Structure 1
Amino acid sequence: ELGGKNAMLVLDDADIEKAADGAVAACFPSAGQLCVSIERLYVADAVHDRFVDAFVARAERLKVGGAYDFSCDVGSLTTAAQLKTVTEHVEDAVAKGAKVLAGGRARPDLGPLFYEPTILAGVTPDMTLYEHETFGPVVSVHPFRDDSEAVARANATPYGLNASVWSRSASRGRAVAARLHAGTVNVNEAFAAAWGSVDAPMGGMGDSGLGRRHGAEGILKYTEAQNVAHQRVQGFTPPKSIPPEAWAALLTGALKVLKAVGSR
């Protein structure tokens, strides 16, 4: 798959602290350089401010660094080109009116390719990162009024790889998940549930690619189907002793009988 502008939806006053932890896990592992990383957060108006406060507080506590142990939370970007993309996306958004709630700058003091976990508000369609994948530790937060608006906004992208839905109602979460145009949708989880379900197919919709990995579909994509048909007794070509018209009528009648018998 190619990745995409993956979305996370916070529908209601599910455990805000848990949802904020989920957002950190969705947006910042591997410095946001996962194909399933979340880059857009849609939060219900009723819980927007509380969620954003909790999410920002967690992002600001994340330790950025290059240690090969558990002392750091966010590591380095992979290439100078990727750092350039992340920097340009954030600078473009800020220049056009976006507000930085957390992060928003490179950290050359830590190494050549480090960038802080960044949360933006007020991102609009004229900004580059609104539609284009950043593939870095950057996420935009957007409020919404109801589930239909959240679904419409989450689906307003040519991509469709991964999504995350958070709700205190399991049935509501699953119902909204089923309406999202994404190959995998996780309810009350960032991406690990779908990724870890190795017997279930995982892949993208839309511009996020073709085919699936995991499950039967993940194996069958490496195969080519072949049809071997063995006709026994009489073939479909009429015997020389029967006129074509009579043969056609006989076959039609026989097929009707077989169909009737098979439907019982």
Structure 2
Amino acid sequence: MGTPQSRGADATPLAPLSGEPLPPVRQSTADDVALAYVRARAAQTGWAALSPRERARPVRRFAALLLRRQDEILDLVQRETGKARLHAHEEVLDAALVSTYYARRAPRLLRPRRRGGALPLLTYAVEVRHPLGVVGVITPWNYPLALAVTDIVPALLAGNAVVHKPDTQTARTAAWARDLMTEAGLPSAVWQQVVGEPADIGDALLDGADHLCLTGSTAAGRAVAARAGRRLIGCSLELGGKNALLVRADADLDQAAHAAVRACFASAGQLCLSAERIIVHDSVRDAFLDRFLPLVRGLRLGADLDYGPQMGSLSLPRVLATVRRHVEDATTHGATVLAGGAARPDLGPLFHEPTVLTGVTPAMAVYREETFGPVVAVYGVPGDDAAVELANDTEYGLNAAVFSRDTPAARALARRLRAGTVNINEGYAAAYASHDAPMGGMKSSGLGRRHGTAGLLAYTAAQTIAQQRLNLTPPAGPGQARYARALTAAVRAMQLLHLR
């Protein structure tokens, strides 16, 4: 697998569930990346010449095919990521729903729009949207199907071609998605794929694009943003998180406990939206833990390629190493393990128990660093102000959740949180799956938004075409004063009539 004429060496990822080798993945070279951009640019002109409605047809068919053939991709996602099948199924649903959403709405969102002109009736102005050209898309290993489709589909529907670099660990999932889109009718050259390490192909990938899209770490995002800034091109970045889940004193604690389990341990915590901090009002902290901890301890871990296990494996050795480092550092410095805390090599090489910590302080790495694994710290606070202060005490601002029976109070609290999405009485899916609403991070959690109108128009350049129906060229000489007075009177009249 790789680009058709790839000349790089093979890489052999390991199956997280067993540690056994997966089929080799041919790595691309910088020359392969350059060739991919040449092919994408050649194909993009014809693709952009199609109407948005015509471009939407293969995307609609892709969404239908994906649901019909989901067992194929569920097996593949599990083998490459190690996640539980139910969490892999979330990827299938998300990819199908976001494809349908944009296929239906792109023709309307991309049509020319009348805008108010300089002078009512005398100036005609219209906004036209043009594709940017070729978009470079870099997707991670943790959600290899959903995140690829979520970013690539709107880029394609906007009339762009794409050069896509999936992570080597999950490159076959990305290739399956591309092949299915081609089967659905997408011209194959419009979606190019390359595979390789940043040190080998990063420069070629970043320098060939007209817009860059990355889902990854904050460190990687800063590097991409700096490169985009030097080239004066746009970038869309969804980066790290240290997400907080707030439980108010009036919360339904049973609901909060069940939702927190999913928010913390979906995909073994390898989700950028996962809750890594639970902030509970002191008056209900013990009652919440009495409900939460038995649920965590009762989670079924397993390596089955079928529904049943509630949590799967971690995906990469380095992720397991971070999880173990954070837990060991925390306990060394005085934190208490309330549930889990240990690796489970008896189940597979990268399994780790879902872990709940208390007594975490700023001296511990887990307090500020993103763990990106099945570890959550629980904090008690005396009230809403303290909860907001603690929740916002992070460089990140991706996702948050608030649990409360008082909806107006919960909404008011949500607006005080510096996070791009906030869920009320749910952990992460309510906001993320609202595909008509923008999703993205504040602070060091990213730039730009995916989903909604913003997630499509980010891949376009706006052009204004204005036509003047009356000659308003200023006169030369003494007539300039009369001209200025006339324009002033016209502006005052427009203000009085609320025309401007």
Counterpart residue identity of residue 118, structure 1:
T
Q: 1:69 and 2:327 equivalent?
A: no
Counterpart residue identity of residue 497, structure 2:
V
Residues 77-109 of structure 1: per-residue CA shift (max 9 Å, x gap): 111111111111111111111100011111111
TM-score, scaled relative to structure 1: 0.95
Alignment partner of 1:253 out of 489, 494, 498 = 489
Q: Distance in 1 between matches of 2:415 and 2:256?
A: 20
Q: Secondary structure at the match of 1:262?
A: coil
Q: Secondary structure at the match of 1:40?
A: strand
- Deviation, 1:71, is 2.3
Q: Distance in 1 between matches of 2:330 and 2:448?
A: 34
Alignment partner of 2:397 out of 154, 160, 171 = 160
**Aligned counterpart, 2:480:** 244
Residues 48-80 of structure 1: per-residue CA shift (max 9 Å, x gap): 011112111111111222111222111111111
- The 8 Å contact of residues 252 and 403 in structure 2, kept in 1 or not, is answered as no
Counterpart residue identity of residue 135, structure 1:
F
Q: Distance in 1 between matches of 2:433 and 2:303?
A: 27
RMSD: 1.6
Alignment partner of 2:465 out of 213, 228, 239 = 228
Q: How many residues align?
A: 263
- Deviation, 1:166, is 0.6
Counterpart residue identity of residue 168, structure 1:
R
Q: Distance in 2 between matches of 1:51 and 1:14?
A: 9
**Aligned counterpart, 2:357:** 120
Q: Distance in 2 between matches of 1:241 and 1:152?
A: 63
Q: 1:107 and 2:334 equivalent?
A: no
Question: Displaced runs of 4+ in structure 1, greater than 6 A?
Answer: none
Residues 261 and 89 (structure 1), Cα distance of their counterparts in 2 relative to 1, 3 Å cut: same
Structure 1: segments with no counterpart, 5+ residues: none
**Aligned counterpart, 2:276:** 39
Residues 133-189 of structure 1: per-residue CA shift (max 9 Å, x gap): 000000000001011110111011121111111112222222211211111111111
Q: Secondary structure at the match of 2:466?
A: coil
Q: Secondary structure at the match of 2:331?
A: helix
Relative to structure 2, which stretch is displaced further, 6-15 or 98-107?
A: 6-15
**Aligned counterpart, 2:65:** none
- Deviation, 1:26, is 0.6
Q: Secondary structure at the match of 2:467?
A: coil
Counterpart residue identity of residue 117, structure 1:
P
- The 8 Å contact of residues 12 and 168 in structure 1, kept in 2 or not, is answered as no
Q: Distance in 1 between matches of 2:311 and 2:459?
A: 36
- The structure in which a higher percent of residues are helix is 2
Counterpart residue identity of residue 92, structure 1:
D
**Aligned counterpart, 1:6:** 243
Structure 2: segments with no counterpart, 5+ residues: 1-237
- Deviation, 1:242, is 5.3
Residues 20-40 of structure 1: per-residue CA shift (max 9 Å, x gap): 111101100100001110000
Residues 32 and 258 (structure 1), Cα distance of their counterparts in 2 relative to 1, 3 Å cut: same
Indicate the structure whose relative CO is greater, using CA pairs within 8 Å and at least 6 residues apart: 1
- Deviation, 1:240, is 4.2
- Deviation, 1:253, is 2.4
Q: Distance in 1 between matches of 2:253 and 2:489?
A: 67
- The structure in which a higher percent of residues are strand is 2
- Deviation, 1:13, is 4.0
- Deviation, 1:262, is 2.6
Q: Percent identity?
A: 55
Q: Secondary structure at the match of 2:279?
A: strand
